[in-house]
Structure 1
């Protein structure tokens, strides 16, 4: 299952995505957590200190390795240099699976132990541990010459090559606002949770997101955050309607975590735990509506658009030729053998 958390900057999407990740990990569900926001705060929200967060490997810095691995023996891709963020898999491509070890995860993912899990537990996902991947922040060399989507492109490429089942999750903390629509990554998820505060600015992002996503079949539900009473709830219901899934209010547990005083996750307030269970049930239910054919078509659609817009000129290749018309992503590929180098 692939889940995105989106919302206005400061809405609390990183906090809520971290709580959802903790909820899944507490249930011993394998999780890969991905920080794809320009403001890299997911690692601290999962309990890492500043030094630990700064030491995490970044996807953007390892993009050549990612491309070379995913390319595999695909004859339609002449070299890793011709791969762009939207390059789709085809016959011979290597795919990523959540519960496996591979060179991409070895280089880019780090186990994070939650709620007392030991370092030994952290050797693999599960047992209150998650794998954490981060895009990385802007560096001095990026300023004035690169946009953040060049870093997020590594996430999109990985999602394009991911096959996953029901009882395993990739949870992505997306970049704030409507920036997600600068690529096709917004179509890569089984469920998108939009975090909205009970304010005009909070619901404005919801309206914009829903309008952009309307033609792509994006499953979108709203989490009302910082809801302090009946008036806030009534406002969100009037503005969001049936898309409002749950609301979350003040949390002493979250406040203690933000102060660097973490408590066991089972001490999270019951109303907030109940909200997380609703999120889990909703995400799980989205699996029954998963459409692999549409997923593959949309992946190809955005690749062809990017190829024509800038990819062909940048790589000097006809990137439309990378599309394998006979290839279809499907859950059956979970058990397919991994292509080996010739």
Structure 2
């Protein structure tokens, strides 16, 4: 199951992403966490030191390796260089699993506080003024297109702030998108913008209130969000400590926060993915990108990378380590 956390900058989406990852890890469930936020704070939110976070390898720095590995011997892809962020898998492509070992994970994924973590990478000095951050998260989109997770396995992504994630097809790669909303009109505005974009693409959204201080805050969120409000988080000493760099044992999390995390997992677990629709959505965005810019950049008709009728599926459960 794939889940993304989005929201206005400063709403607490990285904090809730990390809490949800730790919630799953505490239950002994397999998790792959991905930090696709421009600020790259998920590692430290999970408990890594700043030095450990800075030393993590990045997906964007290993994009040639990722393309070469995922391409496999797919005859529809002329070269690894011809792959773009939306290239869908086909016969001969190498597919990733949450728990498997492969050269991509060996190069780009590290264990941080009990979970596998991949980071897209921050801006470098060379990027300033000349690059868009979406060039960084393209590696994550390509990875998710080739990742065949199964029920009981979780991919958790901390996304870019606001509606920036709509600059690519990445927003369609999740079974559930959790929009973190503070009890403010600005935060509600981001929710409404996200909802209007997502509704045309069948994206499931659950809204989670955060930084709820009192009954007035909760009444405001209920009035603005209605049935989309799944649960909420109150001010938390556990979270405040983690934001100061003090990572407490997870069983010290306040009970009401633990209940909210379980509500998010229950909402996610109730979803059954239609793999054919999932692949069709990837193909739609790939064809759109091919026409808009990728054909010209690569010098090929990238529509030919699409294999009609191909549907990726997770391996038989017994083959998953």
TM-score by length of 2: 0.98
Partner of 1:166: 151
- Alignment counterpart, residue 329 of structure 1, candidates 297, 303, 312: 312
**Structure 1 residue 331, shift from structure 2 partner:** 3.2
Partner of 2:224: 239
Partner of 1:6: 6
Matched, 1:277 2:262: yes
Counterpart CA distance in 1 for 2:10 and 2:115 is 24
Q: What is the Cα-based RMSD across aligned positions, in Å?
A: 1.3
Note if contact 1:47-1:262 (Cα within 8 Å) is conserved in structure 2.
Answer: yes
Q: Which runs of 5+ in 2 are unaligned?
A: none
Note if contact 2:97-2:314 (Cα within 8 Å) is conserved in structure 1.
Answer: no
Matched, 1:55 2:55: yes
Partner of 1:311: 294
Matched, 1:195 2:162: no
Change (3 A) 1:247 1:205: same
Change (3 A) 1:334 1:147: farther
Partner of 1:123: none
Matched, 1:297 2:276: no
Note if contact 2:207-2:229 (Cα within 8 Å) is conserved in structure 1.
Answer: yes
Partner of 2:201: 216
Counterpart CA distance in 2 for 1:202 and 1:90 is 40
Q: Which runs of 5+ in 1 are unaligned?
A: 114-128, 338-342
Partner of 1:255: 240
Counterpart CA distance in 1 for 2:301 and 2:280 is 19
Matched, 1:157 2:142: yes
Partner of 2:33: 33
Partner of 2:65: 65
Residues paired across the two proteins, number: 320
- Runs of 4 or more, structure 1, over 4 Å off, are 332-337
Note if contact 1:163-1:333 (Cα within 8 Å) is conserved in structure 2.
Answer: no
Residue 223 of structure 1: SS of its match in structure 2? strand
